[in-house]
Chains A and B, each alone.
Chain A
Amino acid sequence: MTRPTSEPTVEVTHGGSPGRERDHRRGKRRGRGGGAEQSMVPDADFTSYYGRPIVKAAPWEHDIAYYLFTGGVAAGSSLLAAGADLTGRPGLRRVARLGSLGGLLASIGFLVHDLGRPSRFLNMLRVAKLTSPMSVGTWILSIHGPFAALASAAELAGMLPSRWQGGPVRLLLAAGRPAGLAGALTAPPVAAYTAVLLADTATPAWHAAHEDLPFVFCGSAAAASGGLGLLGSPLAEAGPARAFAVGGALVELAAERRMERAMGLSAETLHHGVAGRWVRASITLTVAGAVGAVAGRRSRALSAVSGAALMAGSLCTRMGVFEAGIASARDPKYTVVPQRERLERGEPVRHHE
């Protein structure tokens, strides 16, 4: 009966007994205190059970991160489509409505893929639960979806040859504007609820971000959908998309800074490893896209490139936040240390009348 020779230390400390290969790598990095990804704060001193995770990471594939992105594109595009419709910008309206439809279909695709089969999406509609952001989101999506889809169908019908535009198709065309407006009013919750969806978990990085994540996600949705408008609409009509995209990018960047300050220790996860790469790419692409969008006001090509960069930046933001949460759940440090510090500061969470 001997203890592992590589672990002669007496206290069971974090990283002391790496369980899986993933943990093994991390244990090594921390153990030797070096490597390219040095933490900004000194390694926290804490105890854990063989370095194993305490909370469980969400068992979600990247589907959910893509869903956060496509849902944002769909929501922002619905808003742009309604505005373009009301202000007589048919080019912008077309790309925004199609973007909204595409985003919506992709979102439902990712959701169903994550759940396994379509009937499981319907099963979610058996209850309406305010305490479950996923239930709320399902209902938001079920209310927004048909309106957005109807408006997009009207757009598609408008692309048909005029001799086919009689009868029921004319009815569809007439429904386009009211459906589009209803879709626009129900769109922002689609972009915002996903932030609550992530924050209402025990995943340290997501929960710690709960104050600012809705602004990051809504800003990101505006940047992505505005970017799509810039990419697809004629220069003469792209003004509002440009303003929406640049405004969204600014909100996203500012909210992200604020969020990191509020997150405490778990903000680290936004800078390390895979999540760190996504976040760095997101900031670069969003800044470049916003600058390009402003500078390229008179260039169709530069506008399109900037739009694409903004969309890519938004996708990277979602991936970064998603990966940071998973990383924060896998390392018990992010669960133990903040709770321990809170207790030591003498602020245990207790109920007060």
Chain B
Amino acid sequence: MTGPNSLFGPLDPAPDAGYVDAPKRKGFFTDTSVCIGCKACEVACKEWNDVPENLYEMLGTSYDNSHSLNANQWRHVAFIEQPAGRPQRPAREQVDLGMPTVGAAPTGVAEEEKPDFRWLMSSDVCKHCTHAACLDVCPTGSLFRSEFGTVVVQDDICNGCGYCVAACPYGVIDRRRGPEGDPKVGIAQKCTLCYDRLTDDQRPACAQACPTESIQYGDVEELRERASARVATLHEQGVMDARLYGNDPDDGVGGTGAMFLLLDEPEVYGLPPDPVVTTKDLPAMYKKAGMAAVAMIGGAALSFLGRRR
């Protein structure tokens, strides 16, 4: 079941993968403007999916102690500490800032006592791309497209070749390195959008646990509308930095199943600004490789031709 847009362009992934009468495509809308960085999503994900603790790696750079999305971290809350009045102001004396506040500062606080910075918090997750490079390059068929349009790894089939790791334009999927004794060490792991819960009409664990509804789960089509409405509201309120990420079905990966409302450029959150699925260029690559292969045979023939012993 392949169409003209199977490698690039907008399409509904589940029918393209061959599902007949597939349910509506499911996904996440993560509204980072209401994320409070509580990490309930990270914990719920680990609990439900039995994801082991992360390898202990102290970064010493920020309040972000879970590092990145990886095999042992299927949800990752980014903590970005930013000056309040951007663009850059001159560095000032270091002061004890107290606990960070969220949203509008309480009234009655003198201007100079307000925090001179803001927190951006964002719960990142696998994007469940319309054109998923990880799935396309998997040589064993371990990665598959579910009927919900999501991308899932079958770890009993995965070879641990690591090709998906290098192919993902978002750096989501990874090969599990530890802890020792874990049966899935050496196997590619990432968010399944709680495939097992979805088949039971349940919400994914992270969305279920999110106390502020920063993580919303539902039909991708509907979430896109909800996301646009939320951006419009924020713009009305004067939050002009609000923008959507991953919602455009015409973008480099054909739109993602997990979209985000961001308050700054994507790269600030560790997201690529405008990723393109690598398989978009695959036909061109095969063509060039074919040309090189033919040239190599020709070169070998030429080396022997016109030569007497």
Contacts and interface: CB of A to CB of B under 8 A. Distances in A.
Interface of A: 1-5, 8-12, 17-20, 46-50, 52-60, 75-76, 79-80, 83-84, 86-89, 114-116, 120, 123-124, 126-127, 129, 131-135, 138, 184-185, 187-189, 191-193, 195-196, 199-203, 206-207, 210-215, 217-218, 221-222, 226, 236-237, 239-241, 243-244, 247-248, 251, 329, 332, 335-336, 339-340, 342-343, 348-351
A340 B267 contact: yes
Given A4-B61, A215-B292, A55 B171 contact: yes
Interface stretch (B5-13, B193-201, B215-223): B5-13
A47 to B, nearest CB: 5
Interface residues of B, number: 97
Contacts of B294: 188
A79 B297 contact: yes
With a 10 A CB-CB cut-off, give which of A200, A207, A236 has the most chain B CB atoms.
A200
B293 A188 contact: yes
A349 B160 CA distance: 31
Given A207-B278, A214-B292, A133 B137 contact: yes
Interface string B167-191: 1111101110000000000100000
Interface pairs A-B: 7 shortest CB-CB: A49-B270, A188-B293, A17-B61, A214-B292, A58-B166, A8-B91, A10-B83
B250 A350 contact: yes
B289 A195 contact: yes
B299 A202 contact: no
Contact of B96 (A2, A60, A124, A226): A2
24 contacts: A1-B96, A1-B97, A4-B60, A10-B86, A11-B83, A12-B80, A18-B61, A54-B270, A55-B166, A56-B171, A58-B163, A58-B166, A60-B162, A79-B297, A89-B309, A114-B161, A120-B161, A134-B163, A188-B297, A191-B296, A192-B289, A200-B285, A247-B299, A339-B273
Interface in B72-104: 78, 80-83, 86-89, 91, 94, 96-99
A116 B168 CA distance: 22
B82 A351 contact: no
Contacts of B279: 131, 200
Given A83-B303, A202-B133, A240-B307, 7 more contacts: A10-B117, A75-B296, A126-B140, A132-B138, A193-B289, A215-B295, A222-B299
A109 B189 CA distance: 26
B99 to A, nearest CB: 8
A237 B309 contact: yes
B267 A214 contact: no
B136 interface: yes
A196 B166 contact: no
Nearest to A193: B289
Contact of A243 (B64, B82, B302): B302
Nearest to A58: B166
Contact of A55 (B80, B139, B272): B272
B300 interface: yes
B62 interface: yes
Contacts of B289: 189, 192-193, 195-196, 214
A200 B88 contact: no
A123 B157 contact: yes
